[in-house]
Amino acid sequence: MIMDNEEEQKETEGKAAEEAKAKAASQGTDDAKDRNATKDEDTSKTPSMINGAVLAADELKKQNDRKEALLDREEQLAAHKALGGTTEAGQAKKVETEDEKWAKGAKERYAGTGMSPVEDDDGK
């Protein structure tokens, strides 16, 4: 008799578990609800895809405007160099020696005095 009661109890527990599984399957499990809940929470905290695209487009527009301004500056600089005669045209820069630097400075200092500290090309 004790065994019959134990067997009946196990059967009823088994049936109850099967019914619970069937009910959970028909309504969806708590795990699925929890997974959906976290997705809902995540989406409420983060911007939607449309909002994200709008933000990305705004940022891209700002960067393009900045790049355009820099390109305009580069073009102006290139035009200034071309028209101002300051381009190098592939020529190496002339390096002045100490004597040439001194002579240039002396010419500037003596300019307008009628005196010349440097000999001219004609030997004077």
For 78, counting Cβ atoms within 10 Å of its Cβ (0-12 exposed, 13-18 middle, 19+ buried), the class is: exposed
- Least Cα distance to 76 among 119, 84, 13 occurs for 84
Q: For the chain, first and last CA: distance in Å?
A: 143
Return the SS3 of 100: helix
Backbone CA torsion sign across 56, 62, 63, 68: positive
34 against 12, higher pLDDT = 12
Residue 64 and residue 68: Cα distance in Å, rounded? 6
* CA distances (Å), origin 121, targets 94, 100, 118, 124: 21, 14, 9, 8
Instruction: Tell whether the model's pLDDT for residue 31 goes beyond 70.
Output: no
Can you list the pairs that 33-38 forms with residues at least 24 positions away whose Cβ atoms lie under 8 Å? none
Q: Are 89 and 97 in contact (CB under 8 A)?
A: no
pTM of the complete model: 0.32
- Tens-digit pLDDT profile for residues 52-106: 899 999 999 999 999 999 999 999 988 888 787 655 666 777 788 999 998 888 8
